[in-house]
Amino acid sequence: MTRASRSGGTKVGALKRTWMGGTAGYLLARNLAFKHAPAAANALMRLTNISGRGRGRDGSEAVPYFRGVAEDYEVIARAAGVAESRGSIFAGKRVLEVGPGNTQAIAMVARARGALHASGWDAFDVVSRDRAYLNAIYEPLLDAIGDEGSPARVIELLGECRVHATRAQLEKQAPFDLVISRAVLEHVRDLETLHRDLAALTTDDAVVIHKVDLRSHGHQLTHDLDFLLFSDRAWNGLTTHIGEPNRARFPRYFEIGERHGFRTLYAASTRVISRSEAERIRPRLALPYRDMSPDVLSVLGFWVVQVKPGHPLASRAIHPESLQPAPHDALAPF
């Protein structure tokens, strides 16, 4: 190594250390707010309508997003072979959406497509209480899916549907035969308990579809995997009360799912970086990430379809070590 490249490396190292210090300070401040004043922190999040779906996706501009999200579940269900040949995957189902965000838009679409009921489960109390804000999304969304976008129709579809915070509350609606989530599981700190609870709340032939985003959620300086530079101890300690990414990599989701009786029928990557890009940072990552293969580290998001043991396709379960690409052309660009 030349002196110039050594000093370049030292500068990058110093920059990364400064960035890690700043990130730790930011996480600490947010964590303290949610730990000591959870009601106020939650209310602030709700009042500012922090949606989790990115900027500019409110009112009628949210319509393509939610339409795409709902349609993606149908596309992925077909790719996995769990959809009926005709009709919607929601038809006749008792649906549970994990982490719906600040609306019940997907529950509403599911109901419009024939779901018997559609409940939500969210660890944070973020669903907007602002009827005007919600109806500005719901009504054009109903129109866009060929339904009737009116306040009365919204009430008819969602009147009985609630978002709950605990398993005990959901037990009154259970069992569910379809579970869906998008951009949620990566925020769940205790994936074992979530899967145990989902197993208890679902029918023996239930279908589960998750889209999981393994990216840094903004915690990066120069590399997509910068957030894996933090040790688990430091990261977990800084995020005890906030929904930052749990940093689990894709195989862990399948292992935990299997332990709780969810058999993987289909898995596909949504985003990847190259093996060489993953290899470039791997020696500097904290454990256990440093010991993971570049094939694992390179996956930055995935779809998974799982079924419970009583499902007719359960015997076709797979144990994927690497993932095929998702059918991007057929999916929404979000």
Ligand X SMILES: C[S@@+](CC[C@H](N)C(=O)[O-])C[C@H]1O[C@@H](n2cnc3c(N)ncnc32)[C@H](O)[C@@H]1O
**Interface positions with ligand X (CB under 6 A):** 52-53, 69, 98-101, 121-124, 126, 182-184, 187-188, 243
- Nearer residue to ligand X within complex by CB, 101 or 140: 101
- Nearer residue to ligand X within complex by CB, 123 or 221: 123
Is the preceding peptide bond at 309 cis, omega within 30 degrees of 0? no
Please choose, from the candidates 105, 333, 327, 303, the residue with its C-alpha nearest in 3D space to the C-alpha of residue 207.
303
- Nearer residue to ligand X within complex by CB, 98 or 206: 98
- Nearer residue to ligand X within complex by CB, 181 or 298: 181
Length of the chain: 334
Question: Minimum distance from CB of 228 to ligand X (Å)?
Answer: 19
Check: CB of residue 76 under 8 Å from CB of residue 302.
no
List 178's β-bridge partners, or say none: 95, 207
- Nearer residue to ligand X within complex by CB, 113 or 187: 187
Tell me the C-alpha distance between 185 and 181, whole Å. Answer: 7
Please choose, from the candidates 235, 298, 237, 229, the residue with its C-alpha nearest in 3D space to the C-alpha of residue 270.
298
Distance between start and end Cα atoms, the chain: 42
Between 131-144 and 63-80, two packed helices, what is the crossing angle to 10 degrees? 50
- Nearer residue to ligand X within complex by CB, 8 or 38: 38
> At a CB cut-off of 8 Å and minimum separation 6, what does 6 contact?
none
* Phi, psi (rounded to 5 degrees) for 179: -115, 135
- Nearer residue to ligand X within complex by CB, 211 or 282: 211
- Nearer residue to ligand X within complex by CB, 34 or 124: 124
Question: Minimum distance from CB of 15 to ligand X (Å)?
Answer: 28
Question: Minimum distance from CB of 113 to ligand X (Å)?
Answer: 18
In the chain, which ranges are continuous DSSP H helix?
Answer: 3-36, 38-47, 63-80, 105-112, 131-144, 151-158, 167-171, 191-201, 232-238, 250-259, 275-281, 294-297
Question: Minimum distance from CB of 30 to ligand X (Å)?
Answer: 14
Question: Minimum distance from CB of 117 to ligand X (Å)?
Answer: 18
Question: Minimum distance from CB of 64 to ligand X (Å)?
Answer: 13
Question: Minimum distance from CB of 98 to ligand X (Å)?
Answer: 5
Tokens at 239, concatenated: 């995020």
- Nearer residue to ligand X within complex by CB, 121 or 176: 121
Please choose, from the candidates 200, 20, 208, 191, the residue with its C-alpha nearest in 3D space to the C-alpha of residue 96.
208
Tell me the C-alpha distance between 204 and 329, whole Å. Answer: 33
Check: CB of residue 98 under 8 Å from CB of residue 121.
yes
> At a CB cut-off of 8 Å and minimum separation 6, what does 304 contact?
208, 209, 210, 212, 253, 254, 257, 264, 266, 267
Question: Minimum distance from CB of 58 to ligand X (Å)?
Answer: 11
